[in-house]
């Protein structure tokens, strides 16, 4: 079955100097949630924006191929499909919803544009979708403005808006980061339920490894513009291969497991900003296992569980004295 989204060797450079994405490849199958996880500056949000062709001016984007359901996505194609078969939701529901217009008029705009729906039909379908995402009294909400809703409700409205045209792919950029933790759980469950009902493919961008573990089917770990590891979620957490992934997992405290009086694992140094001509492993300045060869071309190892490192799969830590 052709994947819903197939991206190969995506590259994005800003102003010719900062290489935000340096060759990212990933695939999302129907009904699957693919999480892209990484810290700030790794290029995960830029990847999402690049796929949707929403990058700011001054960004140049290129890819070996960028396919939606097997067809190449040209800029014109994307513009036609955006909001229709490809949808995106963002982190801050307040700034993604226009505060000057009611919920109803914003949702109605989507239906009018893509489905040519009339006003009455648009309202009915919007109300139905709001109910489907678990919003009570949807007709009341349609007449309200974004500031009258809580963060969790606004995010549900965003999801409803994104799903109005029954898209095949939903790209969610940190959809729960700005929400309270109890609301986050509800929103994630909602996304899972909708995925089951609609066979939706979800590309979920996040920095939270907990979210990844609980919702993802496949995971791509990004660092400094590259996908450094990519695997099924169980494999990634059970046997992380890349030193960055291992380091990242050690940084997260787990109640009941992480010993209290010991320091948390941490990764020394900070994320670098790399130019487009950078060669070698972007992690080498922070890696305990770096050798001179890491400045050269790094092999991409593995098949279903891929990682970008010269170390052999299943390598073990050598403890320095």
Partner 1 sequence: MSAAIEIGDVRRVFTAGARTVRAVDGVSLSVAEGSVMGIVGESGCGKSTLARLILGLMAASSGEILVGGQNLAEMDRRARARLIQPVFQDPYSSLNPRRRIGGIIAQPLAAQGMRRGERAARVREMLAHVGLDPGMAERLPAQLSGGQRQRVAIARALILHPRIVVCDEPTSALDVSVQAQILNLLAELRRAFGLTLVFISHNLAVVEHVATEVAVMYLGRIVEQAPVADLFAAPLHPYTRALLASVLTPEPGLGVPDVGLGDTLPDPSDIPPGCRFHPRCPEAVARCRTEAPATRWSGARMVECHLADFTSSSPDKTAAAHPETA
- Closest distance to partner 1 from the beta carbon of 208 (Å): 7
In the complex with partner 1, which residue's Cβ is closer, 115 or 214? Answer: 214
Residues paired with 219 in a beta bridge: 35, 231
Closest separation in Å from C-beta 203 to partner 1: 18
Cα–Cα distance for residue pair 305/229, rounded to 1 Å:
8
C-alpha–C-alpha distance, residues 34 and 91, integer Å: 17
Task: Report the SS3 class of residue 55.
Answer: coil
Q: How far is CA 75 from the centre of its chain?
A: 20
Q: Please, which residue, 54 or 178, has the CB nearer to partner 1?
A: 178
Residue 261 vs residues 219, 252, 253, 257, 264: alpha-carbon distances, Å:
31, 15, 12, 12, 9
Shortest spacing between CB 25 and partner 1, in angstroms: 23
Q: Which is nearer to partner 1, 115 or 265 (CB)?
A: 265
The residue (of 6 and 32) whose beta carbon lies closer to partner 1 is 32
Distance CA(264)–CA(116), nearest Å, equals 55
Tally of residues, the chain: 321
Shorter beta-carbon distance to partner 1: residue 109 or 235:
235
Q: Closest Cα to residue 239, out of 254, 259, 219, 268?
A: 219
| Shorter beta-carbon distance to partner 1: residue 54 or 190 | 190
- Count how many Cα atoms sit within 13 Å of the Cα of residue 69 in the half-sphere of its side chain: 11
Phi/psi for 192 (5° steps) reads -65, -40
Q: How far is the CB of 216 from partner 1 (least distance, A)?
A: 8
Is 35 within 8 Å of 211 (Cβ atoms)? yes
- The distance of closest approach from Cβ of residue 187 to partner 1 in the complex, given in angstroms and rounded to an integer, is 9
Distance CA 69, CA 210 (A): 30
Q: Residue numbers of the site for partner 1 (CB under 8 A)?
A: 39-40, 134-136, 150-153, 180-186, 188-189, 192, 207-216, 233-234, 236-238, 247-268, 270-271
Tell me the closest approach of the beta carbon of residue 80 to partner 1, in angstroms: 34
Pure H helices in the chain = 44-51, 75-81, 93-96, 103-115, 119-132, 138-142, 151-163, 181-198, 209-215, 233-238, 243-251
Least CB distance to partner 1 at residue 105 (A): 23
3-class SS of residue 40: coil
Smallest distance from partner 1 to CB 233, Å: 5
Residue 76 or residue 262: which is nearer to partner 1 going by CB?
A: 262
Any idea what DSSP says for residue 26?
E
Return the number of other C-beta atoms located less than 10 Å from residue 191's C-beta.
23
Query: Residue 18 or residue 249: which is nearer to partner 1 going by CB?
Result: 249
CB nearer partner 1, residue 162 or residue 233:
233
Closest contact distance (angstroms) between CB of 133 and partner 1 is 11
């Amino acid at each position: 079955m052709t994947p819903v989204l197939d991206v190969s060797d995506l590259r994005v450079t800003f102003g010719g100097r900062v290489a935000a994405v340096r060759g990212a490849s990933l695939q999302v199958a129907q009904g699957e949630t693919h999480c892209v996880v990484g810290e700030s500056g790794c290029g995960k949000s830029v990847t999402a924006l690049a796929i949707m062709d929403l990058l700011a001016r001054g960004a140049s984007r290129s890819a070996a191929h960028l396919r939606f359901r097997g067809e190449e996505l040209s800029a014109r194609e994307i513009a036609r499909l955006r909001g229709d078969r490809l949808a995106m939701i963002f982190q801050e529901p307040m700034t993604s919803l226009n505060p000057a217009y009611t919920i109803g008029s914003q949702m109605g705009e989507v239906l009018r544009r893509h489905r040519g729906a009339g006003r009455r039909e648009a309202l009915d379908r919007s109300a139905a979708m709001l109910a489907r995402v678990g919003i009570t009294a949807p007709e009341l909400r349609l007449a309200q403005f974004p500031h009258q809703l809580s963060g969790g409700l606004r995010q549900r409205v965003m999801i409803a808006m994104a799903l109005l045209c029954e898209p095949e792919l939903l790209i969610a950029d940190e959809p729960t980061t700005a929400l309270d933790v109890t609301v986050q759980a509800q929103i994630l469950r909602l996304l899972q339920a909708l995925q089951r009902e609609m066979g939706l493919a979800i590309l979920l961008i996040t920095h939270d490894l907990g979210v990844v573990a609980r919702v993802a089917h496949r995971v791509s770990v990004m660092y400094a513009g590259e996908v450094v590891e990519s695997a099924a979620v169980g494999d990634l957490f059970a046997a992380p291969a890349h030193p960055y992934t291992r380091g990242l997992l050690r940084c997260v405290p787990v109640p009941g497991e992480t010993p209290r009086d010991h320091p948390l694992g941490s990764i020394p140094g900070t994320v670098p900003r790399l130019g487009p001509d950078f060669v070698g492993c972007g992690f080498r300045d922070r890696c305990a296992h770096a050798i001179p060869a890491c400045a050269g071309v790094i092999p991409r190892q593995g098949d279903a569980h891929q990682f970008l490192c010269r170390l052999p799969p299943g390598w073990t830590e050598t403890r320095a004295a």
